[in-house]
Structure 1
Amino acid sequence: MIERFILPFSEKDFEKEYDLIIVGSGIAGLISAYYAPENFKIALFSKDRLEESNTYYAQGGIAVALNPEDSPELHYKDTLSAGADFNEEKIVKIVVQEGIERVKDLIKLGVNFDKIDGLAFTKEAAHSKRRIIHAQGDATGYEVARTLINIVKDRKNTNIYEHYVLIDLLTYEDEVYGGVFFDTKERKIRIFTSKYIILATGGAGQLYLHTTNPLTATGDGIAIAFRAGARIMDLEFFQFHPTSLDVASPQRFLISEAVRGEGAYLLNAFGERFMLNYHPLAELAPRDVVTRAIFFEMLETQDRIYLDLRPIGEKKIKERFPNIYKKCMEHGIDITKELVPVSPAAHYFMGGIETDEYGRTNLKNLYACGETACTGLHGANRLASNSLLEGLVFGKRCIDAILNEDPAKNHSIPKHQNNLLNISLNEVNQGIKILKKILWDKVGIIRNETELKDAENIIDNLIEKLHNSFILDRSFVELKNMLLISKFMINSALIRKESRGAHFRIDYPKSKEEWKKHIIWEREKEVIFCEVNSLPSFKKNC
């Protein structure tokens, strides 16, 4: 059973009312705050520091058809091709077209993209043209986040709350009007109400033992929205990046796809360039293809896989990838002279909160954008460098929708004081360790029914163990959220008896036409199926 609320609270915890609450400080949340009207009273909440987001760590860049040799039509085709024929075509067209203007806005705001006789473009996997713009070589996310954070901090109508964890949303019937937060510095529950709420809480890579995502990426927004009654979709599609630096770390360092776009090769332990055996595009095949190829090569050789950057040349490596060069040197690896050990790691969640083309959910006054949302843009496998672009486009579109919709009404704050039992922090930490290992081992790159059912039983037991228990701690909230997402991810993976994009079932290795439909979940309802290109489900009779 999924509880409606996971921590006790009451009207005594009320703090303040706003016109707009934005939860999340990555590109989607920050750009929403930027485009919001100046007469709005805004609260921007971050679970950690403002800088702690997937955006901040993004290396590769932003895919946008600004190269004279490129076009939105080609970008559209590449996105569909990488997405395994599962994308929502209307959404793809919106993003590749409007993304051009949103990137131009970033440039006007002062984001300093790299230039060589105009904007410098690079190529990444599954792109037919050089269309990825980048900043500081391989620190695009840092440059974008830094610029937007400085702008938002200067806005007098925006209050910033760092180290505030959203626990649950307040609803009256199908309308959202506030949020219950945990102030981790003061260790207090605080309630804020608002006319509109945007969830931009990011991804969920911390579900897995190995991930490129920061520690904050625990899928909170998806789980919170579901408990409130929002629909969630495509949870079986989780992208594993092929090349993270293969060293022990709770957050794996990403070796950007751009290095392969600039000429780096993948080699097995015998020094063989193996990707040509798996796909005609070799190292520039779609991410899901490269990830599985590495997985199978590691299985066959029982050894590591390596990235060889030496064909790029020492000078270009240091100029184009200074961050990667520096990080690898910290681990004693000189990428201008030595092979770099790499392995796949959980990277990006294609699934999330179902939204329409303006970030609306099935709940009134609740919007979602960025990785926490699922618009159908990415299909079954995200095209490289489309994620920052999506955040830009839908952050703006959420604001456009809000300006044309009635605000939430004032409602009294309910009291939630169930007979909750205390649980120890040690039990919580142990639960997180079990969850991450189980998902990596049994719900990862290669899946099958037996292991998925094993994982389902273990996750269900953990959920039952934590039912009606609590401890006032961020890790407890994260575990509850991760367990909820895991449950429906596994259910979706079991239901989808085919392989498509990032979802690969070794017992059903082919894609099937009858499975060109989204798997959607809503609290206390049976599973919903909706054909591709017929979303959103809540506006149709799926």
Structure 2
Amino acid sequence: MGDAVTQADDSSERSPFQRSWDVVVVGSGAAGLMACLELPPELRVLLLSKDSEPRSASRWAQGGIAAVTRPDDSFASHIADTLKAGAGLCDPAAVELLVRQAPACVERLLSLDMAFDRHGAELSTTLEAAHSHRRVLHAQDRTGGALVEALERRALQRPGLCCLKGAVALQLWVSAGRCRGLQVLHQQELGWIRSGAVVLACGGGGHLFAHTTNPSQSSGDGVAMAWRAGAELRDLEFVQFHPTALMLPDAPHFLISEAVRGEGGRLLDGAGASPVAGLSGGDLAPRDQVSRALARRMRELRTDHLWLDLRPVGGERLERQFPTILRRCRELGLEPTRNPIPVAPAAHYWMGGVATDLEAATSLPGLYAVGEVACTGVHGANRLASNSLMECLVFARQLRRLQPADPAGATAPITGHGRQFSLEDLAPGLTLPDPDVLRARIQALRRLCWQEAGVERSGSGLRRALAWVQERAGLWPSGSLDARLAHLEPGDRLSLEPSAAAALQRGQNLQQRLVLAERLIEAALFRQESRGGHFRTDAPAPQPFWERHSFQRLGHPVQTAPVGQLVNPVNVDSGAAQDR
């Protein structure tokens, strides 16, 4: 994406900190880029990307994009499959919007030169778990990467767009019950950015778990920031664990798309028996069921992996349809055309998130959310395969009607003192923890979440985990530092030494993870049943009473809401966030 600051026009040389924006989009994956494409063209948009190099979770997505494109398929069938996978918690209006808008999104992608696989002139479709028809479109086995590249080519040509890379959002700016912007750390500078609206598109929190298919920046900071600002969270207990992540010592948990099982791949234990033989749908049963079946067989056998046999797919088809999987396996010394490969479940996708309505608006005026950071109501308790990339696109397109309150007038400079501070000026005597200590705490938290809030949970384990998280929440000196950072006014900037900037970023990352972990564990403790991606060994069956959403808001206990109730208006008197 070019330099640290990329501008689509040359109208101003001012720093992004010194300007007001109509909209700030946080995240440069599929949801964020589609938002930039679809926002009204007259709006001036700032796109924040956490990393200098592109590493969003949507870029890693191998699977595909679900849409009704064949004459033997139907909207009714796609809707029914989605509702069934969601285990009673999908919001029908959100599902209908997704399914009915999906074909138009495919046409939009084709207009952006997205290179889907084809059979002759026709789009090629595959079958994935819990789909009743072949409706999943692919670009070989790197659909997410191809999608993001197509969106990026066009989005970065948007007039008035400024892209700020290596920019980490730390907290939202709330005044008079409305989101007015956010605080950002960019390189060695920290300050407030004013905006008429903020769109969170910064992904989920899969990296909260020790075993995950997600990149490291999928730490759930968007969800944590929204909660700290007073926005409503929904259904955080529902995490999807993908059953087939490559399991090798000291290697990342590379996702093995279930599309290979749709083409004949089979799960096996060490004796060659199927661990999913008892499931309706077998190898293509819903992901939550397959992951639990694998976890139980692994526990019985006291092993950390089972096997995925790709030989039935055939070498030629593997080379043609799954070159990325084949290449990655071979890089790690595996040969899937001759031998089964080791796999195990890993955290993959968060069904819960910041609650939104059908226009992607959250309960906090001025704050929007799209993609995995949002809970739109589409996925319910368990996401249907390949609905997530389409959800990014459909709900980002809803932003084409967004009109921010008090449009920013982006050509006007920020008024204010324009003061420059050092960390010593702002917080005299503050000693930031050693980065190695912070890194160790993050890893300990990830192990805890995997052990106690992973594929299978229990009330006793969740209570232990909650106590652990709450005890450690005060170990990072964030309270006094956050208060001082909040005293920075628009136009002020905090200058940091590189080591201090790195420590501040890692410390804030730990704090966001602790906030998210506490919300996850609270929600999982609250839901005393098993449903979809949430399974409790001490309450292993679904209960009719719990066919309701859970929701959380700062200063309130976990509560429930009927299915179909997407967003509750925020209480502007809650004092949830720092007024500027």
For the aligned pair, the TM-score class normalised by the smaller chain equals: over 0.9
Matched, 1:286 2:286: yes
In structure 1, what is the equivalent of residue 489 of structure 2?
none
Pairing 1:396-475 to 2, within 5 Å after superposition: 396-400=397-401, 402-403=402-403, 406-407=405-406, 422-466=432-476, 467-468=478-479, 472-473=501-502, 474-475=505-506
Within the candidate set 119, 123, 130, 1:126 is matched to 130
TM-align CA RMSD = 2.1
Q: Which runs of 5+ in 1 are unaligned?
A: 1-11
- Give the letter for the 1:439 counterpart: C
Matched, 1:153 2:156: yes
Counterpart CA distance in 2 for 1:354 and 1:36 is 20
1:276-300 C-alpha deviation (Å, 9 max, x unpaired):
12x1200000000000000011111
1:275 aligned counterpart, secondary structure: coil
Within the candidate set 98, 101, 105, 1:98 is matched to 101
1:149-174 C-alpha deviation (Å, 9 max, x unpaired):
11122223111111100001111121
In structure 1, what is the equivalent of residue 565 of structure 2?
534
CA drift of 1:20 comes to 1.2
CA drift of 1:406 comes to 3.0
In structure 1, what is the equivalent of residue 6 of structure 2?
none
Residue 412 and residue 374 in structure 1: after superposition, are their counterparts in 2 closer, same or farther (change >3 A)? Answer: farther
Matched, 1:223 2:234: no
In structure 2, what is the equivalent of residue 296 of structure 1?
296
In structure 2, what is the equivalent of residue 4 of structure 1?
none
More displaced stretch, 381-390 vs 405-414: 405-414
In structure 2, what is the equivalent of residue 7 of structure 1?
none
CA drift of 1:102 comes to 1.2
CA drift of 1:14 comes to 4.2
Residue 412 and residue 206 in structure 1: after superposition, are their counterparts in 2 closer, same or farther (change >3 A)? Answer: farther
2:569 aligned counterpart, secondary structure: helix
Contact 1:178–1:192 (CA<8 Å) still a contact in 2?
yes
Counterpart CA distance in 2 for 1:152 and 1:89 is 31
Residue 261 and residue 469 in structure 1: after superposition, are their counterparts in 2 closer, same or farther (change >3 A)? Answer: farther
CA drift of 1:464 comes to 2.0
2:217 aligned counterpart, secondary structure: coil
Residue 219 and residue 369 in structure 1: after superposition, are their counterparts in 2 closer, same or farther (change >3 A)? Answer: same
In structure 2, what is the equivalent of residue 519 of structure 1?
550
CA drift of 1:376 comes to 1.2
Aligned length in residues:
523
2:346 aligned counterpart, secondary structure: strand
Counterpart CA distance in 1 for 2:400 and 2:466 is 39
Counterpart CA distance in 1 for 2:172 and 2:329 is 42
Residue 518 and residue 491 in structure 1: after superposition, are their counterparts in 2 closer, same or farther (change >3 A)? Answer: same
1:323-375 C-alpha deviation (Å, 9 max, x unpaired):
00000001111111110100011100111101111111111111000000001
Contact 1:231–1:353 (CA<8 Å) still a contact in 2?
yes
In the superposition, the TM-score normalised over structure 2's length comes to 0.87
Residue 261 and residue 164 in structure 1: after superposition, are their counterparts in 2 closer, same or farther (change >3 A)? Answer: same
In structure 1, what is the equivalent of residue 262 of structure 2?
261
Contact 1:17–1:194 (CA<8 Å) still a contact in 2?
yes
Matched, 1:350 2:354: no
Contact 1:50–1:149 (CA<8 Å) still a contact in 2?
no
Residue 133 and residue 397 in structure 1: after superposition, are their counterparts in 2 closer, same or farther (change >3 A)? Answer: same
More displaced stretch, 406-415 vs 232-241: 406-415
Contact 1:176–1:408 (CA<8 Å) still a contact in 2?
no
CA drift of 1:506 comes to 0.3
In structure 2, what is the equivalent of residue 49 of structure 1?
52
In structure 1, what is the equivalent of residue 317 of structure 2?
316
2:551 aligned counterpart, secondary structure: strand
2:77 aligned counterpart, secondary structure: helix
Counterpart CA distance in 2 for 1:207 and 1:188 is 27
Residue 167 and residue 530 in structure 1: after superposition, are their counterparts in 2 closer, same or farther (change >3 A)? Answer: same
Counterpart CA distance in 2 for 1:398 and 1:50 is 26
Within the candidate set 163, 170, 176, 1:173 is matched to 176
Contact 2:20–2:408 (CA<8 Å) still a contact in 1?
no
CA drift of 1:234 comes to 0.7
Q: Which runs of 5+ in 2 are unaligned?
A: 1-14, 482-499, 572-580
Contact 1:455–1:490 (CA<8 Å) still a contact in 2?
yes
Contact 2:38–2:399 (CA<8 Å) still a contact in 1?
no
- Identity, % of aligned positions: 37
- Give the letter for the 1:483 counterpart: L
In the superposition, the TM-score normalised over structure 1's length comes to 0.93
